[in-house]
Amino acid sequence: MKENKFVVCITGASGVIYGIRLMEELSKVGKVYVVVSKNGYIVMEKEHKIKKTDFLKKYFNNPNIEIVSDRNIASKLASGSFLTNFKGVIIAPCSMSTLGAIANGVNYNLIHRISEVALKERVKLILLVREMPYSLIHIENMRKITLSGGIIAPASPSFYHYPTTVEDMVNFVVGKILDLIGIENNLYRRWNNRDEN
């Protein structure tokens, strides 16, 4: 049986916890390549007090997680022949500047290049966008990516499962992403219509 392979990219939008939680869950079922942008590390430290060195140290010994520099454009992840067998590429969270670069085919770092390759190779690309409100430019960029085969997934937690902690809300969003790439999970309680007898 072929190994499940995924890419998780963390950019400089608020909500780095989504990417961290996602890579931890995916590492239970396969190999995860993780790319964090320079701004992603800045937000990680601001939001969670996790320094880049601590992040690298924490996941260094996990055989199912490989962290790749966003500056490594020569990485095998930039190759269509390597990425073609992956179950998915997820950018969580996805900043609006990353969204714009991908929508317009501009490669400033490895995250942009991986996304471009995913779209051309028809590998599932999911952008967990984290912004509010959206400008028309954001919406047009989302439209372009959707027409190109990508999936725009706003980080919109639900409340029908009665979340009581931030973790419950994070798990809902991460669980929905796992659903999109076909990974069974029990991170959130599914909809149950209480009005039905």
- Please write the tens of the pLDDT for every residue from 88-138: 999 999 999 999 999 999 999 999 999 999 999 999 999 999 999 999 999
- Euclidean distance between CA atoms 152 and 181, whole angstroms: 13
pLDDT in tens, 139-197: 999 999 999 999 999 999 999 888 999 999 999 999 999 999 999 999 998 887 555 54
3-state secondary structure the chain: CCCCEEEEEECCCCCHHHHHHHHHHHCCCCEEEEEECHHHHHHHHHHHCCCHHHHHHHHHCCCCEEEEECCCCCCHHHCHHHHCCCCEEEEEEECHHHHHHHHCCCCCCHHHHHHHHHHHHCCCEEEEECCCCCCHHHHHHHHHHHHCCCEECCCCCCCCCCCCCHHHHHHHHHHHHHHHCCCCCCCCCCCCCCCCC
pLDDT at 197: 44
- Domains in the chain (CATH in brackets) are 5-154+175-180 (3.40.50.1950)
Average pLDDT value for residue range 45-61: 95
Residue 3: band (very low, low, confident or very high) from pLDDT cuts 50, 70, 90: confident
pLDDT at 190: 85
- At position 148, the amino acid (one-letter code) is S
